[in-house]
Structure 1
Amino acid sequence: MSDLVLTLNAGSSSLKFAIFASNTPSAQAEMTGKFASIGRQPVFSVSSADGRSLDKGALATLDNTFDHEKLLALLLPWLAQHHGRHRIVAVGHRVVHGGERFEGPTRVTEAVLDELESLVPLAPLHQPHNLAAIRAVAEWRPDLLQIACFDTSFHRTQERLAQLFAIPHALSDEGVIRYGFHGLSYAYIASVLPQHLGALADRRVIVAHLGNGSSLCAMKERKSRATSMGFTALDGLVMGRRCGTLDPGVILYLMRAKKMDASAIEDMLYRKSGLLGVSGISNNMHVLQESKAPRAREAIELYCYRAASLIAGLVPSIGGLDALVFTAGIGENSALVRQLICGRLDWLGVSIDGKANSENAVQIGSEQSRVKVLVLPTNEEAIIAKACRDYSE
């Protein structure tokens, strides 16, 4: 009987999972799958390690009544049945917010779950679904080891100044600080940097995690020194539906002049802004790049302008820039976005090779570039699986 590790990543409208062998350190999953478009018409896809599509069984036909909980109630028995005599011994979860207390992977208990519940207001799009997945697994197999892996943990190595807002210190002491997110992605990129940069991996590196949710992380010695996201996952870069950095006065204006309450403002900033809000067309970068509409191009240009500006703004935290790494859906696949961002950073010594960039090569920096420029796939699931293995040993 072979032991397996299951990883779950529950997003606002998606649910990703992967199966790993528990007795090998390989980052290669034996099976990966995803439910997309949850809340509308869920679509299930699943494939083996070699990319072959697998039989979906009862999960082939789904309708809009299937939320995260119902899908998990179907998925977990399906996984157990599919793997037959192979036993799932641990489940690892991506949990977006771990607050100040959780600085690394943590075994889930009722007390831990209660603490994580208190953080829901800080990550309203993600945390409820993360915790619902944990509860669904507990209902399925109450004694199964569950490990929470936090997007905030990677950033706990930042100095205090990088975490503070200029607000009354009593609020900072209560935990109103910059936490940062996408930490599992950054942890994976940090782990593979030596393979691509050698000794340069421990020097001054900025990683751009660009996707529907986007952020930046400045690293030194492969540890987080500063990041673009703050107290919530709303801050920093322009994102698919989120606004990114916003003058707080805009919130006051919306309350006073537009008579919007907190719920309406939250809905606008989290779900109706970003690429979708600026373009009026879509939050999908590929759709915007294919569009001829002027506002689609304006949304792309704003996304890249803000990214370049914030990359430059992170340079002082690490004292310079030796390498720039693009990752995640947009970062790995949009040559246009990389071109527009790097074009605004030539004064920093950033220069890319047009052909390598168009081919999504790993090394896209030109021969003249003083800064190494890389495109690397991220693998949050591998980091979660490793945490589960460490606890299972």
Structure 2
Amino acid sequence: MKRKLLQISVLIIIIFCFTMFQGGFVSWFILFSVSPFLLYALVVLLWRDRIVSVEREITPMQVTAGDDMDVYVYVRRKTFFPFAYMTLHEQMNNKNVGMYRENHSATVKIGGFSRNFMWHYTLKDLPRGEYRYMTTTLQGSDFLGFATNRFSSNQTETILVYPKMEAIIFQPIQATYESGIANTPRSAVKDATMAVGVRDYEQGDRLSWIHWKSFAKSQELRTKEFEERQSEAVSIVLDTRYSIGFEQTVSLAASLAKTFFEAQGELAFSTVSNPSELIRVHYQQHFDHVMRQLAIVQPADYGDVRASNAKGFATTIFITPHLTKEDLQAFSRFHSQVICLVIGEPGKAMHMANVKVHYVTGSFNQVLREVSRQ
């Protein structure tokens, strides 16, 4: 700031001395033409304004990959002090967001005496991911750009862009048990005759599961925990190892998760890179958690199918862009049937006991019907 102040002061003195020594109409015209702008720059440099509030409105709030999103930024200042123009800079966790902005010029606003400013810009064709606003910086400037007044707001906001989903026609998957083969249109996970513990009550728990003795002592609702038999729910395992076609695998996983949750009311989800985190979906909030994971998941350099916790389900669906012989050998040790959905054109035929391999090309709409016909 001191350097800028010195530069402007020296420039004013130089122009004044030039006019006094040179004289004439041209010299005095230059002095009276330039001096107001330099004096204004001096005031801007010394002025300290305050931002009352910075509010951001995003529409729509829930978007999927490839959608457009409108962002409105509303700024309220404390004073009417005029700036020649103001600029808006928003720092985000993803530096490539600027590539998707439709109108870059919307970051500049002519100042005037207004206390309220509104910026609008559009983000087009956003890819899947998490976008987090970190810092909003407003910068007021004079006409010539000699002096600037900077304000920062640390208001944070997170946007999730969910994977693109396709409608899949539901078809119950045939599962093999010790007692034979059966279709499982809906599952029964718990053995309600064998209580093994209690847990906190969750919305949707049955009235018959409430542990009344615990409620009488603590006045807090607790629910009985039952012994779990082999779940008849479908388990979806996403291959997160880096490979071409990763986005398509995420899209297929999201489409299948939505289909099974709407049709059966439950499923399980895990990834190869984090096999210990198995999400059991029974309620809407569980499903929302799965969708959030699918929005933020990124390819990893590691992953081991053998460490998967998705072994206690009637059917495991493994979604991958590249199936290896090692994967098939690992799945052959599962006690339930495994369906491998491979994104891409059919390659070398691979067979393994208890494992189905189906190649997915084009639309996902008929994928469950095609698997059932195999």
Do the two structures share a fold, i.e. TM-score over 0.5? no
Comparing both structures, which one devotes a greater share of its residues to strand? 2
With normalisation by structure 2, the TM-score equals 0.29
Larger radius of gyration: 2
With normalisation by structure 1, the TM-score equals 0.28
Comparing both structures, which one devotes a greater share of its residues to helix? 1
